Structures are given as C-alpha cells and as structure tokens.
Structure 1
Amino acid sequence: MSATKKEILLDQMAACHNDLSWFPTFTDAVKGLTPGQAAWRSHPSSHSIWELVQHLIYWNEKWMSYFLDKETFVSIGKNNDKTFGDPDVEVNEERWNAAVQRLEAVYTEWRNVLHEYPESKFETQVPGYHDEAPWWGVLSNLCTHNAYHIGQIVLIRKLQEQGTE
C-alpha cells in the first residue's frame, strides 16, 4: 500500500520539526543555542540563525493562512528581505526563546492541520497562485524550503564551532 500525499506531507513536516530522519530537525538544530550564537554572522552579507528563524516563521505562518483560507495568495515579488526580520534587532534571551517557541508552535499547528484536512484538499489548486499548483506540491516545497534553511542553521553552527577551536 502506497502512502497518500497527506501522509507524505505529514512525514515531511515531522522531519523538519522534530522527528529525526535524514537531516537534523529544527528542534535539534537550535537546541542549546544562545542569543549571541543566534545573532552571529559569518560575514556581514550573510544571514544569522535569528534571521533564518524569522524567515521560516514568516513563510510557515503565511502559507498556513493561505491554506486555511484566511487570506488569498499574493506574491511578494523577488525581494523577500523583509521576511528575515530586522537585522539590527537585539537578540536577547526573551526574543530568542519566543522565536524558537513560535516556530515550534507553527510546525505543530501544521501537523495538526494537515492531519485534520481530507486528502481531497491536497489535490485542489492554490487560489491566486501564479501557476497551476495543487496544495500537495506547494506544501511539499514548503517542507523542502524548511529543510534547506535548517541545513543553513546547522552549517552556521559548525562555522561557529570552527571559530572557537
């Protein structure tokens, strides 16, 4: 018996969130991270872990809003710099913990929402999307996007460790 699109999406979201699979989960990638480490940049033009987390929060919440029909898809164009948050914000313990908890919460919400919706929802087209795209394809890409940035978080942590040896 083959897995349904819904089951695959649930598996992908779990792998990004906290179900260790082929790559570190978000939960593992940020475990024990200090606000200073979250704000650190390897280069002035690079994103910090803090900014990557802000970006993941933005897109996961945005797509959740689209999925739940709370708003209609609107392209933000090619420049999505604002989705990384304010690069000059002071990353303190309170802000860092709140950001991690917010992304953890949206991953949990995604898993709950995906579980609740019927398989037929995943076959429907995303209203207003620039191409004909079914929900299963867009959400699969969202999971790939999450995995990509989680990989960046892991790389930044490795760069930080090299700098301290």
Structure 2
Amino acid sequence: MKKYFRVVREDFKRNNSFLSKMVISIFRLGNVYKDKKGFYCFFHLIHAFLDLFIIKLLIGSDIPKQIECGEGLRIPHGGRGIIIHPTVKIGKNVTIFHQVTIGVKEPIIQGATIENNVYIGAGAKIIGSVLIGENCRIGANAVVVKDVPPNSTVVGIPGKIIKRAEEK
C-alpha cells in the first residue's frame, strides 16, 4: 500500500487538473489490487464501478488496470479519449495527451513498449508491438507503426523521424 501512495504522489506532482488526478487514482487503485484475492475483492468491485462510470462513460477513455506503468504518468486534459491496450508497457515520466490510441495488430502478441520520458502528442496513434525509445517525442496526430530509437522526434502519417538527438 505504501508503494501505491508513493506512485500516486509522483503522478499527482505531474498533473494539475482534478480530472487528471481522479483518473490516475482510479487507474492506480485497479493496478495495485489486480492480483489480490479474498478480502480485496471489495476493492475490485469499487475499481470496476469507478472505472465503468467515471473513466469509460464520463471521460470516454479506456485505461485498463493490466497496463504495466511506471510512476510519474501525466495525462493532461483529464485523459479524455485515451485508449490503451492491456498488454502495453509504459515507463516512468510519460506524458500522454488526449485522443491517443496505443493498440495492437492481429495476432496479439505484445503491445507497444514505451520507455521513460516519452511525450505523446494529442491524437497520436501507436499501433503494433513497437518500441518507443527513451526521451522520444511523438507529434500530434502521428501514426507510429515502426520502432523509434531513443532521443527522436516522430511526426506524420506514417510516422517519420525528423530529428534525432546525438547520444552523449
């Protein structure tokens, strides 16, 4: 439980709006209790209710509790319209703007892996089991279907690397 509060505290530092904090709290509650049994079934019910009525119906997002996500998640604009597949892995200090889709291609093997300090612009789509390297920037409305090396900026449909910082 201490880890839950530490992770939520880090998430709260990066989010300003009440709606963003509420969405992250609900996501993290399900994330903590996803593997628990017995008495914790009560928390599953609370999470299922909050997830359905607040995140899915009110906000229009699908952020499943199965996602492996590091601390410092930032979702500006309350996370409206964010759709993420349950097999996605997200690193620390990732920013995901509204209307972002992180999905998979058939057959489902593994979702995308997004490493630390990644910025995903509004309306971006990341499709398939791609690897987004550390310190990357995905531009607004970009469609990423291939791996992106670290320290890169990707824009366009399909996503093209327009800038790649030199590694130190």
Question: What band does the TM-score fall into relative to the shorter chain?
Answer: under 0.3
Based on CA coordinates, which of the two structures has the bigger radius of gyration?
Answer: 1
Q: Considering Cα pairs closer than 8 Å and 6+ residues apart, tell me whether 1 or 2 has the greater RCO.
A: 1
The TM-score, its normalising length taken from structure 1, stands at: 0.24
Structure number with the higher strand fraction is 2
